[in-house]
Amino acid sequence: MHIVTGGAGFVGSNLARDLIARGYDDVVIVDDLSDGHKFVNFSDLAIADYLDKDEFLTRMEDPGFVAGLKAIFHNGACSTTTEWDGRYMMENNYGYSQVLLHHCLDHRVPYIYASSAAVYGASTDFSEAPENEKPLNVYGYSKLQFDRYVRRVALDADSQVVGLRYFNVYGPREQHKGSMASVAFHFNNQVRDDGEVRLFEGTSGYGDGDQLRDFVYVDDICAVNLWFLDNPKVSGVFNAGTGRAQTFNDVANAVIAWHGSGEIRYIPFPEHLEGAYQSYTQADLTALRGAGCDVRFRPVEDGVREYLDVING
């Protein structure tokens, strides 16, 4: 079995799609469907089985079940960066990840999990070094603490353990995320509904709409996951982004270009985001490329066009 936790979510459902496209007929999605709207993310996928998160944890206590595992892609987490219930966040993002990690170590099952560029927070250097890890919210801290745990107990393990620090991922199957969906998703809706894209005015020394992020298309993130599946001797914590920061204006202009109409309007920067907002991210890919991963990452102009072709086509 190839397990995808968070398989009803954004990255997880796309990863399940790509595993099935490879010909795997043993893909099992694990999630919590308390929000039943997420079923649409995998209703078109010929998965082998679906397991509730709690049922999955129970099954992991069964040696017979674990013996059938080929790999676990762990994408299940609370990804709401504005959530400040630290106990809830640590239980979902840290404790759950620890439990799965130790099952995988005990049974030598490859474990490829989603970390986040939110671990860098206030940093302006995005290489995978402890001195650069300065999270601005409890979400980022929950991801960082698990990376630290992995570094302490697992990087010399006999089986593969890989953490992927996703940067700003966008693409199909993210509609359920609401306010946490990508700016490409929101900009598309704004142009379609109102004929305009609304960007933040300048802040922290950046001009209007010129804040910079490393925007990475979800298909490329899936390709990185699958590269590690194909290279089970490689372990570590790696950045997963394009390595090229682009502005929010770039994303807006790509959306407007696809629609063939629309304009940009700049709105005041929200007070509640002051001090808790990353105005610049850019993945340092030195470690990823040094490990041998040669996945090509799309620039915003290509990724947004492909994305809108899917959701608007």
Residues forming the active site: 139, 177
- What are phi and psi for residue 235, nearest 5 degrees? -130, 165
End-to-end CA, the chain: 33
> What whole-number distance in Å separates Cα of residue 29 and Cα of residue 163?
19
- What are phi and psi for residue 51, nearest 5 degrees? -130, 135
CB atoms within 10 A of CB 79: 22
> What whole-number distance in Å separates Cα of residue 99 and Cα of residue 160?
16
Report the sign of the C-alpha dihedral through residues 62, 68, 70, 74, in that order: negative
> What whole-number distance in Å separates Cα of residue 218 and Cα of residue 162?
18
Q: Are strands 246-247 and 212-213 parallel, antiparallel or unpaired?
A: antiparallel
